[in-house]
Amino acid sequence: MPKKQIRIGLIGYSFMGRAHSNAFHQVNHFFPSKYELVPQAVCGRDAKKVKEFADRWGYASTETDWKKLIARDDIDLIDVATPNNLHHDQVIAAAQAGKMIWCEKPLARTGKEAEDMVKAVAKAKVPNMVWYNYRRCPAVTLAKQIIDSGKLGKIFHYRANFLQDWTISPELPQGGTGLWRLDAKVAGSGVTGDLLAHCIDTALWLNGDIADVTAMTETFIKERTHSETGKKQKVSIDDACSFMCRFKNGSLGLFESTRYARGHKALYTFEINGEHMSLKWDLHDLHRLQIFDHKDDGTERGWKSVHVSDGDHPYCGNWWVPGLQLGYEHSFTHAIVEFLACLDKRKKPTPSFKDGLATDYVVDAVLGSAKTRKWTKVKQVKR
């Protein structure tokens, strides 16, 4: 039977453009389904660079104006892999053109922007997904399955960190290609929207919604040269953020993120403690899930480190033989696998834009609380 083609128009071709493009190819090869993903066109402002990218990653054509890309009728799905300030307009235009949409995280710079995007896809009734890829690491998906089985019992604690160290030098400029994450106008916020957003998305998925938060943020380097203007300008992103929260299920949450933890490159860790069982995960060792089960025999009780690579572990059966581990890039492939499975069953894919909005509301509450120094309620999203 001929496959149903999904012709992709990618906007943006940097770090995430590569991560997504790699996933398109891997899905076709490793997770054959009734769909075939076709890299139809890629869009970026620099015609020469975008052409080089298209040749390397197998895109049939290029555009330098995203509005033209969205207007094309040979594109079924728009994949937004641009800096955060562009998500809002690109997503809304894509929805109005009736395209399916994938959007890089965070969905938007603020909850307000994300609300517009959620409304646009609801009105257009187009399938949508935010690239919160860490949900789709096999060990994290396994944690979700174990939690959903009820084996943990009542949940008491959830804690997560995302630690990096790449902005410690005061000489590092802010703004422009590669460094827009340091420019609040473009990024929306610093570590809260960039890194904690991942931790929040996973937490909402594993442990349910957050009711309220209390937070503190710090900007350690107050001024940096802007790479586009060449001028010293105030830094208005949060360099570090810690927050406490209450989940609606009664458990307590503790989150920390910084780009000033010397020695840590992308140390995303989470731990969940239940009445009977605890689970721990670490992005630097992402193919392992640590499990402590109090129901184990007393003499043999202890933390076990499960190498998540067996055929019956999530997604693993489609890859290599047991024992050969998967990495960061596979999480993007699995995100698409889930999207296609939902498309096939006419179900709404996740993480959806509504899920993205829920995370943006937590980010807003965290940043708001850091300013007011007060406990702040999180706006809730009906899902």
Query: Least distance in Å: CB of 194 to ligand SOE?
Result: 5
Query: Least distance in Å: CB of 266 to ligand SOE?
Result: 5
Instruction: Tell me the per-residue interface mask from 106 to 145 with ligand SOE, x by CB under 6 A, - otherwise.
Output: ----------------------------------------
Backbone angles phi, psi at 268, to 5 degrees: -95, 120
- ω before 351 within 30° of 0 (cis)? yes
Residue nearer to ligand SOE on the CB measure, 136 or 198: 198
- Which residue, 238, 257, 243, is CA-closest to 190? 238
Query: Least distance in Å: CB of 131 to ligand SOE?
Result: 8
- Name the closest residue to ligand SOE (Cβ): 194
Q: Angle formed by the axes of helices 84-96 and 111-124, to 10°?
A: 20
Tokens of 173: 């400029």
Q: How far apart are CA 11 and CA 8, in angstroms?
A: 10
Q: How far apart are CA 287 and CA 305, in angstroms?
A: 10
Residue nearer to ligand SOE on the CB measure, 23 or 70: 23
Q: Does 266 bind ligand SOE (CB under 6 A)?
A: yes
* Beta strands 128-130 and 100-103, pairing class: parallel
Instruction: Tell me the per-residue interface mask from 198 to 217 with ligand SOE, x by CB under 6 A, - otherwise.
Output: x-------------------
Query: Least distance in Å: CB of 261 to ligand SOE?
Result: 13
Cα 312 from chain centroid (whole Å): 25
Residue nearer to ligand SOE on the CB measure, 244 or 267: 267
Residue nearer to ligand SOE on the CB measure, 267 or 341: 267
Query: Least distance in Å: CB of 164 to ligand SOE?
Result: 6
By CB under 6 A, the residues from 332 to 351 that bind ligand SOE are none
Instruction: Tell me the per-residue interface mask from 156 to 185 with ligand SOE, x by CB under 6 A, - otherwise.
Output: --------x---------------------
CB 147 within 8 Å of CB 206: yes
Query: Least distance in Å: CB of 134 to ligand SOE?
Result: 7
By CB under 6 A, the residues from 270 to 329 that bind ligand SOE are none
Residue spans of beta strands (DSSP E) within the chain: 4-11, 35-43, 61-63, 77-80, 100-103, 128-130, 155-163, 210-218, 223-225, 232-234, 240-247, 252-258, 267-274, 277-282, 288-293, 303-307, 376-377
Cβ neighbours around 176 below 10 Å, total? 14
Which residues form the interface with ligand SOE (CB under 6 A)?
164, 194, 198, 266
